[in-house]
Amino acid sequence: MEGTRLRSSPRDGSSSILKKGEGAGPVAESGWPLTVLEDPAKCSSVSRVDSVAEFRDFVRHGRHSEGEMCILTEGISKLQLTNSIPETLSEVLSQRKKLSAVEALLKTIEQGEDPWTGELFWWPPGETRREEVLGEDLRSKLLRYRPFVETCYAAELRSSRRGPHPRSCEQTDTLTSLDVKDLVTSHGSVPLWDRGHGFLGSSGAGIGLHVDQAWWSNIAKNFYGYKLVALWAPGSNVLETCGGELFRKPLCHRHLSALDRCCAVALLRPGDVACFTGGLPHTTLVVGSELNLTFYESFVNWNCDNLALLLSGLQRPIDQAWWQNNMSPEFAQTVLDDILRVVDAGGKLEEFQERFVSFLRSRPIAAARLAGKVRPSGEAPMKRRCLRS
């Protein structure tokens, strides 16, 4: 199947994710072997570009389903997203005083009128599987965890109340006022886009090895700090051996072996914006002394390979562990409804859109929905959540 596929080495022309003269820098304490970080085969699947147009083309048309990744260097500023996150959070993270992730969030929440919600995870010393902090709301979770010093990660940060987005007026719980969605869709629609949520963590935190509940593509907007990302190719059995586990040091033999078999590895630097699929096994790890803040968006573009991956994922069982679980049938239904509404909106289609529609109609799971009624345009979509990275 057709589709844009970028292939380029990092900006400095080396075969390493590290910049020339950068040294190990923030990745030195990760425990991830340099043989993995400097593997030419893994780095060749990652394109680091300077052009907004090139990045936008990868987002709208590129093939992501084989583990390809595109990073727009200094994308936060190039896409004019610098002021898109809550001002209070930005001010707290910009202070020279070093705060823990818990203290930074508490300080932010206590200054705002809109209560936030989200999940809070932590890892006992030496453990790779996470524990969840329970509580009625995010603030109570943070206060409960406050006395402890272990690594923690705040996931799916969002508003507790849905309201109109300042740009599109759509109902959303996102905390961002401007997204890559607004910049990409201004050049034409895409079949599906979810504005997503934020993730904040300290060194050694992250999301364990998993696939997203929906096998769509992700946008990672890395506002602060450094984060390592690794992806595995289709058909990998890595979830069977390391599913749900965080690749934190000291890495065991299983983790070292798994990293050796990943198909792509990248270091997200402050200001980078990256695009890759959430439908393949992937893991992230915050590195360096700074707190890391990344906001994610999810979408389906016009590439038929990516659509095939999404549809195959929607047919998985839903009773699996969190790291390979599927969306509920009701939520999966809304995903298909949203896609069908865009492709059936009428008007002349471009050639690449016609190929997408033809492929969609040939898939049994989508054809069944086409035989029914699409949700009325005035009806609000069901809220769907999907753990990302």
Q: Which two tokens stand for residue 297?
A: 């968006």
Question: What percentage of the chain has pLDDT greater than the value 70?
Answer: 87
* Angstrom distance (rounded) from CA 21 to CA 12: 10
Mean pLDDT value of segment 122-151: 90
| Least confident range of 78-82, 97-101, 120-124 | 97-101
Q: What is the pLDDT of residue 1?
A: 39
Name the more confident of 359 and 188.
359
Q: What is the overall mean pLDDT for the chain?
A: 87
Residue 343 near residue 191, CB atoms below 8 Å: yes
- Report pTM: 0.90
Quick one: pLDDT band at residue 102, thresholds 50, 70, 90?
very high
CA distances from 304 to 4, 216, 355 (A): 11, 12, 8
More confident residue, 310 or 328: 310
pLDDT in tens, 15-69: 567 666 565 678 888 999 989 998 999 988 999 999 999 999 999 999 999 999 9
CATH architecture of the region 1-389 = Sandwich (2.60)
Would you state the pLDDT for residue 327?
87
Rounded Cα distance between 94 and 181, Å, is 26
Written as one string, the DSSP assignment of 256-268 is HHHHHT-SEEEEE
Report how far residue 186's alpha carbon sits from residue 195's, in angstroms, rounded to the nearest whole number: 15
Residue 365: predicted pLDDT: 73
263 or 5: whose pLDDT is higher?
Answer: 263
- Hey, where are the domains in the chain? 1-389
Question: What is the pLDDT at residue 290?
Answer: 92
Percent of the chain exceeding pLDDT 90 equals 65
pLDDT tens-digit series, residues 6-27: 444 343 434 567 666 565 678 8
Those residues whose C-beta lies under 8 Å from the C-beta of residue 385, and which sit 6 or more positions away, are 156, 197, 213
Give the per-residue pLDDT at 72. 98
If pLDDT is split at 50, 70 and 90, which confidence band does 286 have?
very high
3-state secondary structure of 171: strand
Q: 150 or 270: which carries more pLDDT confidence?
A: 270
For 240, the 3-state DSSP assignment is helix
Are the C-beta atoms of residues 27 and 37 closer than 8 Å to each other? yes
Lowest-confidence region among 155-159, 205-209, 370-374: 370-374
Residue 333 or 233, more confident: 233
Cis peptide before 33 (omega within 30 of 0): no
Q: If you compute the radius of gyration of the chain from its CA atoms, what whole number of angstroms results?
A: 20
The answer for residues whose C-beta is within 8 angstroms of residue 28's C-beta and 6 or more apart is none
Residue 331: band (very low, low, confident or very high) from pLDDT cuts 50, 70, 90: confident
